[in-house]
Amino acid sequence: MDPALLRERELFKKRALSTPAVEKKKKDREKETVRDEPVQKKPKVTSGSSAPKLDIVSYKTMAGSSQYKFGVLAKIVKHMKARHQDGDDHPLTLEEILDETNQLDVGSKVKMWLQTEALIQNPKIEVSADKRFSFKPMYKIKDKKSLLRLLKQHDLKGLGGILMEDIQESLPHCEKHMKSLQNEILFIIRPLDKKKIVFYNDKTAQLPIDEEFQKLWRAVAVDAMDDQKIDEYLEKQGIRSMQDHGLKKPVPIKRKKPNNKRKTLKKPRDNEHLADVLETYDDNK
């Protein structure tokens, strides 16, 4: 090996041994100071301490309060309807209604809204002079006699029948009264929405009809035919439809619209063929 390299190696070792290890001492001192200081514990963050506790009543009246208010109103109207159908017609105060519907936890703002706006403006609630509330049905009928009287009036006036659901809403103990009136009323199911309609059974309008005619009438299938097709069929068979024999509507007379255009006046023509004959007379002559 080269002696010059060996010399440099020996000199490097001597320099390394002569330099003190300062960094190591600094690290040891830092460790000792850390050990001597007391350890500070970090405060534990609990989930309940950061957020305030919510009350049930305040939670109901927070965001979406309009939905909550109308839910209270719908429950009240439903309860008042059920009371009326059971025969309880005496009016109640707002506190009594909230007590019967188990809604006493309603806030003061919702109570004020019910007392001054919602129940007063609702078409199914009737308000008395002393601020008591009761259900307002479609028809004011209390027993089978008042129902039969109402059906007779509709029949005489040509108003037709009454929806069964309106009678059920208006008449307390409706099923019991409808059973006792089976011979005096008629039921027809409307084909469009399958709703049941109640008519008065006017026995004076019943006429004896021959059975053969009834069989022929029932044998004709006109379910899939409208009025126009029935009229065309009758015309082919040489039968005129009823609309030809009814009262004819007067045909409206078409009036002529006034002509607002101004007539242009004809200008007087000059006598050009008498130009040589005409003479002018001046006053000076």
b/e for 227-263, b at 16 or more Cβ within 10 A? Answer: eeeebeeeeeeeeeeeeeeeeeeeeeeeeeeeeeeee
- Tell me which of 218 and 280 has the higher pLDDT: 218
Which residue would you say has higher pLDDT here, 81 or 256? 81
pLDDT tens for residues 167-178?
A: 999 999 888 888
Distance CA(21)–CA(158), nearest Å, equals 119
Question: Which pTM was predicted?
Answer: 0.52
* Mean pLDDT comparison of 25-34, 152-161, 223-232, 258-267, highest-scoring range: 152-161
Q: Which tops the pLDDT comparison, 81 or 23? A: 81
pLDDT given for residue 59 in this prediction: 47
Selection from 54-58, 211-215, 218-222 with the highest mean pLDDT = 211-215
Q: What is the pLDDT of residues 99-127, one digit of tens each?
A: 999 988 888 899 999 988 999 999 999 99
Rounded CA separation 259/162 (Å):
54
Q: 24-28, 73-77, 96-100, 269-273: lowest mean pLDDT where? A: 24-28
Structure confidence at residue 51 (pLDDT): 46
Name which of 42-46, 141-145, 281-285 the model is least confident about.
Answer: 42-46
Q: DSSP characters for 169-207?
A: HHSTTHHHHHHHTTTTEEEEE-TTT--EEEEE--GGG--
Q: Which residue would you say has higher pLDDT here, 89 or 32?
A: 89
| CA atoms within a 13 Å half-sphere pointing along the CA-CB vector of 237 | 9
pLDDT digits (tens, 9 = 90+) for 2-13: 777 778 888 878
Give the pLDDT of residue 70. Answer: 92
Enclosing H/E stretch for 127: strand 125-127
Pick from 144-148, 179-183, 273-277: least confident: 273-277
| CA 129 vs CA 91, 169, 226: distances in Å | 11, 24, 53
pLDDT of residue 134: 92
CATH architecture of 64-135: Orthogonal Bundle (1.10)
pLDDT tens for 73-98 read 999 999 999 999 888 888 999 999 99
pLDDT tens string 51-66: 445 455 554 444 347 8
* Residue percentage of the chain with pLDDT more than 90: 23
pLDDT averaged over every residue in the chain:
77
Q: Give the separation between CA 147 and CA 171, rounded to whole angstroms.
A: 8
